[in-house]
A = this chain, B = another copy of it.
Amino acid sequence: MTTQAFFPKVQSPIRFEGPKSKNPLAFKYYDARKKVRGKTMAEHFRFACAFWHTMKGNGADMFGPGAWTREWAAGASPMEIAEKTLRANFEFCVKMGIPFYCFHDRDIAPEGATFAESCKNLDAIVKLAKKLQKETGIKLLWGTANLFSNPRYTHGAGTNPDAHVFAYAVAQVKHAMDATKTLGGENYVFWGGREGYETLLNTNYSREQETFARFLQTAVDYKKKIGFKGQFLIEPKPKEPSKHQYDFDSATVLGFLRAHGLYEHFKINVEANHATLAGHTFEHELTVAAAEGKLGSIDANTGDLMLGWDTDQFPTNLYSAASAMMVVLESGGLGTGGFNFDSKCRRGSMDSLDLFYAHIGGMDTFARGLLVADRMLSNKAYDKFVTNRYASWTNGVGSAILKGKMDAVALEKWVLKNGEPKLTSGRQEMLEILFNDSL
């Protein structure tokens, strides 16, 4: 594979050793080949490494610059660093047993002095990535364009008040989509990092909604033109960096797509931490997307509910993972999507070994979550309770209502005849016990 070993402390791929292992560099639950409901764990999850956090992350925050020293982050030129970082990425994925990776264009290749130079840089790196993909078998889950870091995007990309910036953003998306296609990317993601506003005082909301739709339509058209077969995904986030982001949550995005004739072209990439910043649970956002067949992929991480910003922590909570996996299992899986660890180690986890611990923890958490979800969904007492709860809709007046046969007048008559409904318990506390019993 790669000639240089950036992770010498991990000599061989992480192995599954089962729950009794004391080896911190082993999986205790994630067994890639283990089958659950007819699919292997590898097939269920299609885990991906997030290039920006895992390879480019340095522990910086708003109160301090980078705190981590990475061997691959040093070099004579930006392109040399980019090449080393790319090699480190593949080494990491191979050693972790993670079959996919995801990137922004500007993560994998440095921005040049001009757009043309940026494109040239990207093309060179894509060439190397293609080679490394082939050598390692690691695949691209999705690509995307970074339309938020460069100062030109300060006031937005597809929603910028300046059409010049819009044009630039489309050009960048075009090139990033080309790169994604070249690398066989199975999806292409739109995260509108600065598509929103800081203050309504300087914002023409209607105009920005209009240009945003136009921006997405242009991407849809180009996708068709080049025959890119990957799934388009929109990733909602309610705020940060903008005060308000237009892709607030799944419901908002789906409504927007419907309003602008874009509905059929996109699915949702749900991120756990973005869900909670919007005041929703992770499983809520998954449920909203799945209910319309629009659950496309998952950014697997977690926030801290006591903190009001995107902490992007590695997922370790079994309740959240199991609740998520119940939705994923019931919706039939993610299709071309996967579980991308859009997660970063805490600033204090300075050692590159921490990257392994963190990913192992995340993968084991989801593997356990899958097993718990399977147990819950296989629990007949649980299934029976929920089915019975909605039984009134499958016949009698409920069925007639759903068929549109009972208007208000008919229903009033029915009520005058049938009187008060019976009060029944929703059994929340009992169901929470069932859930805990499955852990």
Contacts and interface: CB of A to CB of B under 8 A. Distances in A.
Contact of A354 (B115, B249, B349, B427): B427
A423 B152 contact: yes
A8 interface: no
A412 interface: yes
Interface in A16-47: 19, 22, 24, 28
A291 B345 CA distance: 29
A163 B393 contact: yes
Main DSSP-derived SS at the A contact region: helix
Interface in A349-380: 349-351, 353-354, 357-358, 360-361, 364-365, 368
A227 interface: no
A421 B279 contact: no
A348 B162 CA distance: 13
Interface stretch (A95-103, A121-129, A217-225, A332-340): A217-225
A434 to B, nearest CB: 8
A24 B433 contact: yes
A330 to B, nearest CB: 10
B202 A429 contact: no
A211 interface: yes
Contacts of A306: 239, 243, 276, 279-281, 305
Contacts of A357: 427, 429-430, 433
Nearest to A20: B437
Contacts of A115: 415-416, 419-420
B198 A426 contact: yes
B252 A396 contact: no
Nearest to A319: B317
Contacts of A11: none
A135 interface: no
A424 B154 CA distance: 9
B423 A67 contact: yes
Given A305-B305, A397-B163, A204 B386 contact: yes
Question: How many copies of this kind of chain does the complex include?
Answer: 4
Given A67-B151, A201-B432, 12 more contacts: A62-B309, A63-B194, A64-B151, A67-B423, A114-B419, A200-B323, A206-B291, A243-B304, A254-B259, A277-B308, A349-B427, A354-B429
Interface stretch (A75-83, A182-190, A403-411): A403-411
Contacts of A422: 162, 164
18 contacts: A64-B148, A64-B150, A64-B153, A67-B151, A151-B350, A154-B350, A170-B411, A199-B426, A199-B428, A218-B406, A221-B408, A222-B408, A240-B307, A248-B251, A319-B319, A348-B428, A349-B428, A357-B433
A386 B202 contact: yes
Interface stretch (A85-93, A171-179, A264-272): A171-179
Contact of A64 (B154, B164, B390): B154
Nearest to A173: B408
A180 interface: no
A279 B239 contact: yes
A143 interface: no
A336 B25 CA distance: 44
B164 A392 contact: yes
A63 B258 CA distance: 29
A210 B402 contact: yes
B419 A28 contact: no
A250 to B, nearest CB: 9
A118 to B, nearest CB: 11
